[in-house]
Amino acid sequence: MRFFLPDNPVPITFQTLGILMMGGLLGPKWGFGSSLSYATLGFIGVPLFQGGNGGFEYTTGVTGGYIIGFVLASTVVGFLVEKGLTESKSIWAYLVGTVLVYVPALIWLSLLDFSWPEDGKLLSQAVYPFIIGDVIKAIVASLLTIGIFKSKFRNFINN
C-alpha cells in the first residue's frame, strides 16, 4: 500500500514500519541480514518495494537513499532494543531508527541530481511531509514489538 503526496515522487508506505520491527524483533545481526537481503533482492529486480517495484533503476532513483537507510535503521534498532531499552523507553530506539532512514536519503538526494527536490527545498519536500506518519509508524512498531516480546510468539522467534 502506498500514498503519494502532490508533486512528490517518494511515496508514503508501510515499509518503514516493517523495517523497524525487523530490527526490533530480530536483533542487530538478523535485522541487518534480513534488511540487506530485502534491499539486495529488490536491487536485482525482485518486485519487493512499494507498488511491486524493484530493479537497478528503481533502487538507484530518488528512493535509493531510503533503501540504504532501511539497512542502517534495522541494524541500529536491533542493537538498541537488544541492549535492554525498557518498554517505556523503547520508542526512542524506533525514533532513532526513523531518523537513520532519513540520513542516507538526504545525503543521496543532495549528492545526486534528480531535479527533485527543488534547490533549497530538500527538508521541506523530502522530510517534513513524512514526519507525522513516520512518528506514528515508530510508535506502532514499538507497541507491536513490545506485544510480541510479551507473547509466546517471541519464544518461537528465539528458538
Nearest to 15 by CA among 137, 105, 125: 137
- Asked if pLDDT for residue 133 goes beyond 80, the answer is yes
What percent of the chain stands above pLDDT 70? 94
- Asked if pLDDT for residue 154 goes beyond 70, the answer is no
For residue range 65-120, list pLDDT tens digits in order: 999 999 999 999 999 998 876 777 889 999 999 999 999 999 999 888 777 777 77
- Asked if pLDDT for residue 49 goes beyond 90, the answer is no
pLDDT of residue 23: 96
Report how far apart, in Å, the C-alpha atoms of 76 and of each of 9, 32, 142 are. Answer: 27, 9, 14
Q: What gap in Å lies between CA 45 and CA 59, rounded to an integer?
A: 9
Domains, the chain, with CATH or none: 10-158 (1.10.1760.20)
pLDDT of residue 21: 96
pLDDT of residue 77: 97
- Hey, which of 44-53, 99-108, 126-135 has the most confident mean pLDDT? 99-108
Nearest to 94 by CA among 16, 39, 14, 26: 16
Would you place residue 122 in the very low, low, confident or very high pLDDT band (cuts 50, 70, 90)?
confident
Would you place residue 155 in the very low, low, confident or very high pLDDT band (cuts 50, 70, 90)?
low
Nearest to 61 by CA among 5, 116, 6, 15: 116
What percent of the chain stands above pLDDT 90? 54
Q: What are the cell numbers at 86?
A: 525498557
Q: What are the cell numbers at 139?
A: 510508535
Would you place residue 157 in the very low, low, confident or very high pLDDT band (cuts 50, 70, 90)?
low
